[in-house]
Structure 1
Amino acid sequence: MRTHIVDDFPQGAHEGDTLRGLPSRPHGLALADRVLGLMAAVPAALLVLAEIVLLFSGVCARYVFHRPLVWGDELAGILFLWLAMTGAATALHRGAHMRMTAMVNRASKESAAFWDTVALVASLLFLGLIAAPAYAYIRQQWMIETPALEINDGLRVAAIVYGVALMLLMSLVKLLALGWKPALTGIVVSAAIVFGLDTAGPVLQSLGNLNLLIFFVGVVGFTVLSGMPIAFSFGLAVFSYLSLSTSMPLEIVVSRMDEGMSQLLLLAVPMFIFLGLLIEMTGMARAMINFLASLLGHVRGGLSYVLIGAMYLISGISGSKAADMAAVAPILFPEMKRRGERPGELVALLSATGAQTETVPPSIVLITIGSVTGVSISALFTGGLLPGFVLALALCALVWWRTRGVEPVSAKRAGGSEIMKTLIVSIPALALPVVIRLAVVEGVATATEVSTVGIVYSLIAGLLIYRRFEWKRIGPMLVETAALSGAILIIIGTATAMAWALTQSGFSHSLASFMEHLPGGAVSFMAVSVVMFVLLGSVLEGIPAIVLFGPLLFPIARDVGIHEVQYAMVVILSMGLGLFSPPFGVGYYGACAVSKIHPDEGIRPIIGYMVALFVGIVVIAAVPWISTGFLRTQ
């Protein structure tokens, strides 16, 4: 099980809680850890708030006053890199980085503690090795001046050094907290590995592309399975590959990370994460669910249909699976259990709806795939609605089949007046996806800015309509947004560096040639892609897989005649299927954590839901119109 994921894990965990062997720490180390956490979390939260204000001000200046802020995007980009790095440091402190802990959690207590130490030492190794190239990269950028604000670009990229320094110190504190013996052992082992690899440098350089297996399969595989954060695993592999088997300057690793994390389109990620937390806090999610329950709550499997519909609607607003599941499960599950639903069925269906709604805009995965492949995000938003609906129908069909012979538990059929009342209450919430969509289509805001329109709308609705707004939760929500965003963005950065290294090695051309010459043309290419991305989604996570393989495979899809929007839908849904499929799919464990149901209970029931989703994906892959039919109406 992976204990932490990008957008599919509940809030509140802290890294100190995830590492075994830390029942108590010396006061000095505990104080240092707390100070380092504040040095990351406070600026990260303020940066999220600043970006919201800046982006919404840009919308108002351009659309209302017709005086665009010509420096707005530039300032947003500068602040964004600082947000990414302080957010990544906050994520490390809170334990919110993506980690693969399936193997570690099955080990004995002593072995698990050993692997925790290995993961921590490997993280220290990457952060320590990249510190000097990061400083050298600042010196390179110090000669560049930004065009609009005319300030030194070194001030922007200094964020990388600040974030790396904080994470290095945090990891060192945690290593020291394990005790002097594990810490000394970890340092000695790290030094021995570095010395050994450095000594083997001439031999490695003579191996050519065999180094790809050594570093991108061997190093990545070992470090990921040891429980090291995936972002650091990618970074360590790239750094080791370039330093030991090539003569390229190591500043390239940092520059590629900067390129990956600095794409302004990705600024939508923290904005939509915050929006997802906001709609749960203001009660908008509850209003939508209550309306659906009044319509369907009395029929066989009625609340299961409500769960499917609620996840579809809320995914269209929040873009965050953690917010989706946390908003729906606590409202519906108690009543569903009262009506006799087994806990395993509940968590299985919740996981399936998480995979089903991966393409419902404004999905963070859609934004990511658009940013790395060049596919229009507006087209992806339009094309993503119907595929999610098709999978919803597949799940509804399975629910009907499973409940066809079950007598419904007596539940009062809602009268017309009650349905009308819940509808009226839910109208402001139901209107939010429409507001977001219209803001993009009508040119009021870009795909990056439109989330702030939704945030302001939700603020007004929460304060004036639903009268439910907890000001004391804003600070923790800003910190949570920064942590989740940082965990996403640093993976995109290190995966971008890995993708660049693979491209330079010639691997991308070999992969492209293999995929392009598969017998059967488009049909074989699509079938292989489905299988490959299901496996990648369960093992590697969706976002890193997209960043690594999206730029390689999308041009091939176009060459064999597959529409890029259809291919995006198939890829995303296939990864979603892997992400929420046990035993490795981390989304499944996120659903278990949100619903407080043991993972073992859902293993058997989830099989049928995963089969239904797979059938739906095959239909979407076979019928291009499902993904592209509405694009022609734009």
Structure 2
Amino acid sequence: MSTDISMGNLPLTGASKPLGPVGKAGHVLDLCIRWSTELSAAALVVGEVVLLFANVFYRYALHDPLIWGDELATLLFIWLAMLGAVIALRRNEHMRLTTFIAHLPPSRRAFVDTFGSVIVIAFMLSLLSPAWEYVSEEWAITSAALEISNGFRVAALAIGLTLMLAISVARLMEQARALHFFVSAGIAAGVALALLTLKAEMVALGNWNLVIFFVAAVIFMIVIGVPIMAAFGLSTVAYLCTVTSTPMLVVMGRIDEGMSSLILLAIPLFVFLGALIEAMGMAQAMIRFLASLIGHFKGGLSYVLIGAIYLVSGISGSKAADMAAVAPALFPEMKARGEDENELVAMLSASGAMSETIPPSLVLITIGSVTGVSISALFTGGFMPAVVGAIAMIVVIWLKNRKRDLKEVERSRPREVGKAFLIALPALALPFVIRAAVVEGIATATEVASVGVAYTFVVGLTFYRSFEWRRLYPIIVSTASLSGAILIIIGCATAMAWALTQSGFSRQLTDLMSNAPGGATGFLLISAVAFVVLGSFLEGIPAIVLFGPLLFPVARTLGINEVQYAMVAIFAMGLGLFAPPFGVGFYAACAIAKVDPDGAMKRVWPYLGALAVALLVLVAVPWVSTGFLSAT
């Protein structure tokens, strides 16, 4: 997903029953954590936007850079990430797969939810002591510019884990049945005891441990709806404790390393920006212009849908934000013209896959962070792959609508088109403002979202005047929640990738993939298929954090341009993410449009087939991804 779509929001069943003393205590604890974390996280989001914009202003306008700006931004960022993760856990918004447990009978689902919560608690408990030890270790290190202890920064990890543990316990106290809890705790304790008892036998299994911990265990936890961050984290901890003598302090260091890269600060800022353009009315203005321009053609609003997703994706970087902005503005009129709602959701879902490479995609930012590929190059190379995908979808739309009669739809007069264009022009300029700020060196890829936020506020309040200030606080809290859910996955996936590297798997994978039949083309095809599968199960950001550092060196060895490889990987992951029956992006599109997935599932395949053809074009024609790099 792009790493921004929640995989489910299933609370523990039985929450509506009257609360006893234990349940009431859990409820009070939940409320205390809610208000303390949400208010703090909201302040941090605002603080980061102001700080990064101040960095740009002082450096570019006053030629007097804030030498302490990046240090303070990094310190605040890890606190924002961990508090956001706490909020996401309390709101059941962590990325998780609910495809399977959603079909369970209520009683069984209640037990599975309780068991999943126990697994999350086990993960938090395994890292709680190492997290506080990590704070103690880092306390002696002093930052260069601010001259304060690094312990203040990494304390966010310990406090965040403590609060997530408290939230999980409170949720069990409030909602779980006692029998379900004791059975779940017994199973978890039994598994832990078996691993400790059979440690010598497990070590003797060699590489089969990788299959047990990183394939079987991870898949099992994901299938039963455990948040991906806990599935990654607990499997890593269990592997290291069972098969190696690695101290858990190292795991905390790897999680910190994965979450603390300053480039990742672009994630919450672009999530915030994506929500703002919808709230300010800018997305609607762009859609109205496109509708006036091409809405009278056969299937015209379908073309508008593709164009709107392309434009909005160039601003928000978040697929959930893109779909949520476009669907409410277009679907009522499309239904009035006789479009089937299942067809609409199929197009919406496929357009999400088509637009994954459009900058400032959160996956682009993540892939640059974990592989060292230039963010500017990725931003430049991301436009054309999406154009190829859009053309492929347009062909399908044309074939479906070429014999359709739309006599009742009148063509907009040139004056109406011109008026719609002038109204939309400030919004249409935003992607170009973002792009120019990076290319001209005004702002870094991390800072540019703050420029976009400032531009959106000025333009939205001046020209569109539809913003309701009461929406601002929920938008900021949701930004923290989604960002925390993404960033803690990156941290846990970084720890897992490190464990895989230490096991020797990285070298073995490199040797295997380097000798793939067909040379570079064969490697690209195998990678495309692999990332489609990974996108279906893991979502984009976790998959790229886990496998990017392993596969990108192989691509470089084979002479594949790293930007082309990034585009193939991202496009393939997007295809898997929005492909049923496992792709969670497809279900997110259904949820946004409030449509039953069963009907839409039958309509999405022609569009996904067209995108598969587009993926083959990306593999066969490097120019699509790299043709404009020389211009940067």
Q: Find the counterpart in structure 2 of residue 42 from structure 1.
A: 39
CA distance in 2, matches of 1:175, 1:200: 31
1:361-416 C-alpha deviation (Å, 9 max, x unpaired): 10001000000010000000000001111111111111001111111151121001
CA distance in 1, matches of 2:626, 2:577: 25
Higher mean alpha-carbon deviation, 212-221 vs 149-158, is at 212-221
Q: Contact 1:5/1:97 (CA < 8 Å) preserved in 2?
A: no
Q: Find the counterpart in structure 2 of residue 114 from structure 1.
A: 111
**Equivalences for residues 12-23 of structure 1 within 5 A:** 18-23=11-16
Q: 1:394 aligns with which of 383, 392, 395?
A: 392
Q: Contact 2:2/2:574 (CA < 8 Å) preserved in 1?
A: no
1:476-529 C-alpha deviation (Å, 9 max, x unpaired): 111000000000000000000000000000001000100000121011101101
CA distance in 2, matches of 1:214, 1:578: 24
Shift of 1:36: 1.5
Q: Which amino acid in the other structure matches residue 443 of structure 1?
A: G
Shift of 1:6: 4.8
Q: Contact 2:259/2:490 (CA < 8 Å) preserved in 1?
A: yes
Q: Contact 2:3/2:362 (CA < 8 Å) preserved in 1?
A: no
Q: Which amino acid in the other structure matches residue 543 of structure 2?
A: A
1:237-267 C-alpha deviation (Å, 9 max, x unpaired): 1111111111111111111000000000000
Q: Find the counterpart in structure 1 of residue 418 from structure 2.
A: 420
**Equivalences for residues 35-74 of structure 1 within 5 A:** 35-74=32-71
Q: Find the counterpart in structure 2 of residue 297 from structure 1.
A: 295
Q: Which amino acid in the other structure matches residue 101 of structure 1?
A: T
Q: Contact 2:26/2:169 (CA < 8 Å) preserved in 1?
A: no
Q: Which amino acid in the other structure matches residue 128 of structure 2?
A: A
**Equivalences for residues 221-620 of structure 1 within 5 A:** 221-620=219-618
Shift of 1:211: 1.4
Q: Contact 1:45/1:482 (CA < 8 Å) preserved in 2?
A: yes
Q: Contact 2:299/2:401 (CA < 8 Å) preserved in 1?
A: yes
CA distance in 2, matches of 1:472, 1:112: 36
Q: Find the counterpart in structure 1 of residue 164 from structure 2.
A: 167
Higher mean alpha-carbon deviation, 511-520 vs 207-216, is at 207-216
Unaligned ranges ≥5, structure 1: none
Shift of 1:33: 1.2
1:112-156 C-alpha deviation (Å, 9 max, x unpaired): 122111111111110011101111111111111111111011111
1:193-219 C-alpha deviation (Å, 9 max, x unpaired): 222222122222232222111211122
The CA RMSD over aligned residues, in Å, is 1.3
Q: Contact 1:88/1:490 (CA < 8 Å) preserved in 2?
A: yes
Per the normalisation by structure 1, the TM-score is 0.97
1:137-190 C-alpha deviation (Å, 9 max, x unpaired): 111111111111110111110001110011001111112221322222223332
Q: Which amino acid in the other structure matches residue 600 of structure 2?
A: G
Q: Contact 1:320/1:364 (CA < 8 Å) preserved in 2?
A: yes
Shift of 1:5: 8.8
Q: Find the counterpart in structure 1 of residue 78 from structure 2.
A: 81
Shift of 1:277: 0.3
1:557-612 C-alpha deviation (Å, 9 max, x unpaired): 11112111011111100000000001000000000011111101111110100000
Shift of 1:8: 2.9
3-state SS of 1:62 partner: helix
Matching of residue 135 in structure 1 with residue 132 in structure 2: yes
Higher mean alpha-carbon deviation, 36-45 vs 265-274, is at 36-45
CA distance in 1, matches of 2:146, 2:315: 34
CA distance in 1, matches of 2:144, 2:207: 41
Q: Contact 1:258/1:493 (CA < 8 Å) preserved in 2?
A: yes
3-state SS of 2:357 partner: coil
Shift of 1:556: 1.0
In the alignment of these two chains, the number of paired residues is: 627
Matching of residue 100 in structure 1 with residue 97 in structure 2: yes
Unaligned ranges ≥5, structure 2: none
CA distance in 2, matches of 1:244, 1:150: 40
Q: Contact 1:9/1:594 (CA < 8 Å) preserved in 2?
A: no
Q: Find the counterpart in structure 1 of residue 121 from structure 2.
A: 124
CA distance in 2, matches of 1:142, 1:121: 32
Q: Contact 1:270/1:481 (CA < 8 Å) preserved in 2?
A: yes
Shift of 1:9: 5.0
Q: Contact 1:314/1:324 (CA < 8 Å) preserved in 2?
A: yes
CA distance in 1, matches of 2:190, 2:15: 26
Q: Which amino acid in the other structure matches residue 30 of structure 1?
A: H
Q: Contact 1:307/1:332 (CA < 8 Å) preserved in 2?
A: yes
1:417-472 C-alpha deviation (Å, 9 max, x unpaired): 10000000000000000000000111110000000000000000111111122211
Q: Contact 1:535/1:575 (CA < 8 Å) preserved in 2?
A: yes
